[in-house]
Chains A and B, each alone.
Chain A
Amino acid sequence: MAGQVGPGSRSGLRSAAPLLLPAYLWLTVAIFLPLSAMVFFSFMTDLPLSGKPWSFTLGNYATFFSQGLYATLLLASLRLGLEVTLWCVVIGYPAAYVLAKVLKGRSREAIFLLVILPFWSNGLVRIFSWAMVLREGGILDSVLNAVLPFRISIDLMYSYPAVIIGLVHSYVPYMVLTCFLTIQAIDDSLIEAGRSLGASRLQILKRVIIPLSMPGLIAGSALIFVPVVGSFMEPRILGGRTGTFYGTVIEDQFVAVFNWPLGAALSFILLAVVLIILAAVSPVLRRAA
């Protein structure tokens, strides 16, 4: 035991409390109480601060269920999350495999860092950078027209594909990271054993590598899917008028329409969806950790 006290003893908590309290008090005031308050406000007709009379209501939730628009947008956001996650698997998994099993030593370390690096740089700025590439007369347009013998006009800006490209660019490093960690942990002797028993490359991939790296794939998918469903800045910048999703509607309630109770209800519905997804994958995540 690290401390002077045994496990489960109450004096353990007494010694730990002064060190724990400041951090957890802060988390309570700034995260847990706000989340609870959001649930509370979502059942109100109006904010109690505005001076107007208010009462409890189920109206905000009724709005969600009676007006097809919100449910449609939530579905659109879920679909966006699914598509972005799939692209991240398709693009990120092979890269993670190459990093874990093909590259060695210093070059692996350097390339791994290069893949992870953009992830920690400013997300907003990286989304903006795609506007430079995708707009008409942008780099993609100019380069293709310089190379190709015929004239084409590439104007992907303000379209659904633009939103997908921007989001995949933002989140693919997550997939590479989580898959790299699990693929790297696969013992090479398992792969050798499969090979000596006459398995083809494809069989080894299907029977050994993919099953053993499943926790990484699932962890990466959850870590990507959840924030993408709640994204609003990316569809706004790259999607333009086509970029209306569930997240942008929530943003509107708070910064444009000022219907906070409805915004709170919409946020809470999103939170419920997110928590269900996280609960579903948490056994896998725990086993991976």
Chain B
Amino acid sequence: MALTRVLEWLGRIYIWLLLAFLYLPIVIMALMSFNVSPFYQLPFEWTTRWYVALMGNDQLITATWNSIRIAVITTLISTVLGTAASLALYRYEFRGKKFLQALLFPPIAIPWLITGTAMLIFFFAIGIGRGLHAILLGHVALALPYVIVVVSARLQTFAPELEEAARSLGANQWQVTRRVTLPWIMPGVIAGGLFAFAVSFDQFVVSYFLSTPGQTTLPVEIYAAIRKGFTPEINAVSTVIIVVSMALMLLTARYFKFGGEK
């Protein structure tokens, strides 16, 4: 079947074109962060001066630390609370369980613009206000559904007989959870945690509405900088972010197959 082979090759070429479309802008942006010209002029001349400038930019450094701190705390809280909720949804049958599971989808599906502005209004109204604490409150809520979905998916592969067996051997509920269930679902928990980190670290929209001038995260700071004008310094910090988040996702992929295959 000569035609089939030709079509298959065209398909392969097409995939590579798609990958080029996806990656070329990012690669070009990264290259420009190593180019001397502040106006992105060619020919290309290698420099690391924009990264050095980055080191001296206190505003960006502070925002970076804020982003990392919020992402780490978000990861810890949402992983613990999310795993607990997943266990409850897996173990127990009760009325309203379907409803509770359905409640996880609006936070994922509703555009962040709506969620973000709603949080801004509500937090303001009840006195929580804006700032890093408000951003943290929002990020955990955004990350929770992802953690629950991912951990629940892993729990589907768990054999409940194992818990029964441990229980019949005299283990109490806590021992069963710690010694039998948790070790089994650990890959799911780690993947959920990495998702939570990614959701928080890359979050722009919700942070944007909840931040105040002194208390911002890195994406909000970058947005403000972009709107003032493009500089290679933005390229440099963007390159760092892209490398970090892609590395993180590769790590997640080790624990969690996206294809749904085991």
Q: Is A226's CB under 8 angstroms from B227's CB?
A: no
Q: Which applies to chain A's interface (DSSP): helix, strand, loop or mixed?
A: helix
Contacts of B100 in A (CB 8 A): 20, 24
Q: A284 an interface residue at 8 Å Cβ cutoff? A: no
Report how far A54 CA is from B117 CA in the complex, Å. 20
From A2, A115, A229, B91 is in contact (CB under 8 Å) with A2
Contacts of B85 in A (CB 8 A): 19-20, 22-24
Report how far A181 CA is from B21 CA in the complex, Å. 22
Report how far A249 CA is from B106 CA in the complex, Å. 23
Contact string against A for B residues 239-262, beta-carbon threshold 8 Å, 1 for contact and 0 otherwise = 001100110111011000011100
Q: A59 an interface residue at 8 Å Cβ cutoff? A: no
Contacts of A49 in B (CB 8 A): 124-125
- Given A19-B88, A133-B28, A137-B40, A35:B209 Cβ within 8 A: no
Q: B140 an interface residue at 8 Å Cβ cutoff? A: yes
Min CB gap B191→A, angstroms:
12
Q: Is B141's CB under 8 angstroms from A27's CB?
A: yes
Q: A12 an interface residue at 8 Å Cβ cutoff? A: yes
Contacts of B227 in A (CB 8 A): 236-237
Residue of A nearest to B29 (CB): A129
Min CB gap B154→A, angstroms:
15
Q: Is B15's CB under 8 angstroms from A103's CB?
A: yes
Contact string against A for B residues 17-31, beta-carbon threshold 8 Å, 1 for contact and 0 otherwise = 011011111101100
Can you list 14 A-B pairs, Cβ within 8 angstroms, ordered by A? A10-B94, A13-B92, A15-B88, A16-B94, A19-B85, A26-B141, A35-B106, A48-B125, A113-B253, A120-B246, A121-B246, A125-B26, A139-B28, A254-B120
- Beyond A15-B91, A98-B11, 8 additional contacts (C-beta under 8 Å) are A26-B81, A26-B140, A32-B103, A37-B122, A38-B117, A41-B125, A120-B248, A173-B22
